[in-house]
Amino acid sequence: MLLWGHCKCSARGCPRDSPPKGGQTRGISLGLPTPIYRATTITSLQVKRKNWEAHFREDGALFKHMSSLQHLLRSLHSSHRQLYSKLDEKQKLMEVETTATGELSRVETELKAFQSQYENRLTILQKKLGALDTVRGDIDSVRRDCSKLTDTSKTMGGRLEAQEDKLKQVQGQVVTSKGRPSSGASRYGDSFSDSRMAVVERKIEELERQNTMLKVHVSELELQLQASLASTHNGSFLWRIPDVARRRRDAIEERITSIYSPPFYTGRNGYKMCIRAYLNGDGIGFKTHLSLFFVLMRGEYDPLLKWPFEHKVSLILVDQDHRKHIVQTFKPTPESSSFKRPTSDMNVASGCP
């Protein structure tokens, strides 16, 4: 045990206030009758206790620091989860926006396509309405022409019948005059002399000539009437060929190798054309196929039209059982003489041999 004294004087740095050296005990005279000492015993346990307390304080500070770090870490984890949640929501919103944008683009494309189809159909309908109005006008005009031709034909027929009646009367008078006996000549004088007979005969010949001309004129009017009834003015023509077996036999026997359709037109003042058919074939189709050709004809309005002819041509052999039609389409060649302005009644035929 180490004892050391403590001086109660107020002098600082008093040598009596320092502990003894070398572990020896020495007495210190304080100049007092009875010296007062306060001794303190410090054991290793107390030192350890102080060290432990210091460690405990440090551990407490570390624990508090660790707790604050854990709290901060939990806050960071929570913020991280919130950020991830917001990021997921934003990604979902972006995906929804992308999907909506794609759907909107698709709808816009479909709307544009539908609008284009609608405009095309509207244009086609407008053209068809215009063509229908033209066809109606053409039909009305054809009806008026047919009515006029019918009236003219009836008038000519009446005139022809009247001329025939007059001719019969004159012929009856001539026969009667020729059948009378010669003794009657003196009774009636010179009324039926040779000169008179010559005049009557000339009149009969004139009436016969007029009768023949009227018959020809009536035939022409009937042909014009049939052509007006059969022809169209819209660029399309349906040609029904009657008695095909007999006509094909005539073609095989080379009596009549080809036949022509009635003329038709692209418009009221348009191109004039017809179809030529070889029922026994022509060219590479001779004796094996039916050959159809398109023919441009000289028309009244050719000076007003554009030449050469440039419209697309379609020839269709209609299957009356509605199973399969045979269609042949071609575009005119501007250099071909078949599509230039006709200088004769018909151009050279062009089509499908």
- Return the pLDDT at 63: 86
Quick check: helix, strand or coil at residue 267?
coil
Six-digit token string for 223: 């042909």
Quote the Cα angle for 208-211-214, to 5°.
Answer: 155
- Return the pLDDT at 10: 47
- Return the pLDDT at 139: 64
Return the closest-CA partner of residue 283 out of 333, 337, 349.
349
Burial class (CB in 10 A: 0-12, 13-18, 19+), 24: exposed
- Return the pLDDT at 216: 66
Q: What domains can you pick out in the chain, each with its CATH number?
A: 244-352 (2.60.210.10)
- Return the pLDDT at 249: 93
- Return the pLDDT at 311: 94
Query: For residues 264 and 323, is the Cβ–Cβ distance under 8 A?
Result: no
pLDDT truncated to tens, each residue of the chain (353 aa)? 344 444 545 445 555 555 555 544 444 444 545 444 444 455 677 777 788 888 888 888 888 888 888 889 888 988 888 898 888 888 888 888 888 888 888 888 888 887 888 788 777 777 766 766 665 666 666 667 666 666 776 776 677 677 667 767 766 665 565 555 444 444 444 444 566 667 777 777 787 787 777 776 676 666 566 666 667 888 999 988 888 999 999 999 999 999 999 899 999 899 999 999 999 999 899 999 999 999 999 999 999 999 999 999 999 999 888 888 999 999 999 999 999 999 999 999 998 88
Distances (CA, A) of 58 to 65, 66, 68: 10, 12, 15
Distances (CA, A) of 6 to 9, 18, 27, 36: 9, 8, 11, 8
Which sign does the torsion angle of CA 165, 169, 172, 178 carry? negative
Six-digit token string for 140: 């009305």
Q: What is the pTM of this model?
A: 0.42
- Return the pLDDT at 28: 47
What DSSP letter does each residue of 67-135 carry, written as one string? HHHHHHHHHHHHHHHHHHHHHHHHHHHHHHHHHHHHHHHHHHHHHHHHHHHHHHHHHHHHHHHHHHHHH
- Return the pLDDT at 339: 96
- Return the pLDDT at 153: 65
Query: For residues 148 and 281, is the Cβ–Cβ distance under 8 A?
Result: no
Query: For residues 270 and 280, is the Cβ–Cβ distance under 8 A?
Result: no
- Return the pLDDT at 192: 47
Q: Looking at the DSSP assignment, which residues form a beta bridge with residue 260?
A: 276
